[in-house]
Structure 1
């Protein structure tokens, strides 16, 4: 499916921007995915390969910049981007009130945090959460509390959680996703965990470039396959496949 792109949409008072990827000629509102990058400031471009792959599956994908080095750790910008998605997705060909919240690395815990603490969004929860290569024992950028601590305290996401973590990840060990999956299963919550044969960057169809000090697109087969797996998880989470 052909994909249409809009770049640099301002999403809130911070002046930060996001990119939009959507299927061309969709005959009905597309399932909406808000996809948060990791701890590197303003790295929405890093997620372009995955966003394009997901949009080709029929999803409207919004990828915002946010800055982990902001005074609040990025919380305000993350929540601004969520408010934008909820308010504007309908006019962009999607469904803002029933969207999938997804994140990679630090963005993963931030996404789950919203589902665990809906009071930060006036009671709203996403349709599902998809976490890629995340840690959940550290404070989420959206809430300031660790998702595993929230679970231990009796909080529940109340929505399906889908996890994908590269089995060869040396940046964030896959045991962090396994620990979360086990904690969710122990409380009877719906969760899936897939561990493709790839690394931290490969799970989003990239490889780390030391010279650029950032992840860049790659055609390595392990990364391409992992990205397709994530795109499938996003589509299934939103009921698009």
Structure 2
């Protein structure tokens, strides 16, 4: 008896991201290949989630290259996956091409925003991205066993959570990140800090959680990197402006203190005169912060 073939629905559907062919690469800067809009996850009833990749030219790599997984900001409600923030948008080469030219793969991943789904959906999406990158690592020439997560603002919050928390080791399909670079990110959704009030249902944090943090304390704690600090945590670089009017600098100071107390490696930079997104800093200072962050990645992944 002949087994039934695939249904019409199965035939017309786009190939699953785990099996779909990779798009052709384009040269975005000398020595750097770029792949844009690569699907990594299907979301039932929602948009497919995609990532962009910057890779060193294959002939310049001696073997699989380490990975930087970048997570964009935007108050968990907006933002673009390939945007490192206000002060880098005019750079040429772009920041991700610079990281790739230094010998690292860079993946910039979508995640579901707060208008689409609430926590822990965005964290789970990043876990799925890392799983997909691991699954396709041989084709891409990358080593996800050597991954640093780099995020800014809301993306830094998610990068911290991805680095500090562990998915089920049987199902996750990827190695725990080796460290994190976190720029001006929230670390504590349970305590009033700066302009953030846990009982306000209209804050970006409340929209991300689906309710005012004070009304869902267990969920707020689960979404707070500060609550997940542990001995043996991977190294962190925390960089925050001391004049930040959107995410109070105490978020990074508290996370740094907790990591130090737990015996985890942490380097914390407080940047004088800098508001959120490095607003108010001279261009040369922003370049210095980027270079310092890249040097931290190099030390971890060398």
TM-score (norm 1): 0.79
**Which residues in structure 2 correspond to 1:3-22 (within 5 Å)?**
3-14=32-43, 15-22=48-55
* Matched-pair contact (CA < 8 Å) for 1:50–1:231: no
1:130–1:185 CA distance, 2 compared to 1 (3 A) = same
In the alignment, what sits opposite 1:238? 301
Q: Could you tell me which residue of structure 2 aligns to residue 214 of structure 1?
A: none
Distance 1:188 1:195 in 2: 20
Structure 1 residue 84 corresponds to structure 2 residue 132 = yes
Task: State whether structure 2 residue 105 is matched by structure 1 residue 60.
Answer: yes
Displacement of 1:196 in angstroms is 4.0
> Does the CA contact (< 8 Å) of 1:130 and 1:237 recur in 2?
no
- For the pair 1:41 / 2:104, whether they are aligned, the reply is no
Q: TM-score, normalised by structure 2?
A: 0.64
- The CA deviation string for residues 30-88 of structure 1, in whole angstroms up to 9 with x for no partner, is 11111111224351121373322222221101001223222234234222212122222
**Aligned-partner SS, 2:142:** coil
C-alpha distance 223-199 of structure 1, shift in aligned 2 (>3 A): farther
Q: Distance in 2 between matches of 1:175 and 1:99?
A: 27
Question: Equivalent residues in 2 for 1:113-192 (5 A)?
Answer: 113-120=161-168, 122=170, 124-138=175-189, 144-151=222-229, 155-156=230-231, 158-192=233-267
- Following superposition, the deviation at residue 110 of structure 1 comes to 1.7
Residue-by-residue CA offset, 1:175-208 (whole Å, 9 max, x unaligned): 2111111111112111111234544323xxxx69
2: CA distance, partners of 1:166 / 1:133: 7
Taking CA–CA contacts closer than 8 Å with sequence separation of 6 or more, which of the two structures ends up with the larger relative contact order? 1
CA contact (8 A) 1:34 1:63 kept: yes
Check 1:232–1:166 CA distance in 2 against 1; reply closer, same or farther (3 A cut). farther
| Inter-partner Cα distance in structure 1 for 2:256 and 2:168 | 24
Computing the radius of gyration over CA atoms, which structure comes out larger, 1 or 2? 2
| Cα distance between partner residues in 2 of 1:196 and 1:145 | 26
Aligned to 1:201: 277
- The size of the alignment, in residue pairs, is 223
Unaligned runs of 5+ in 2: 1-29, 191-204, 210-218
Question: RMSD of the alignment, in Å?
Answer: 2.9
CA distance in 2, matches of 1:79, 1:190: 23
Partner of 1:71: 117
User: Aligned pair in 2 of structure 1 residues 188, 10: CA closer, same or farther (>3 Å)?
Assistant: same
Q: Is the 8 Å Cα contact of residues 37 and 103 (structure 1) preserved in structure 2?
A: yes
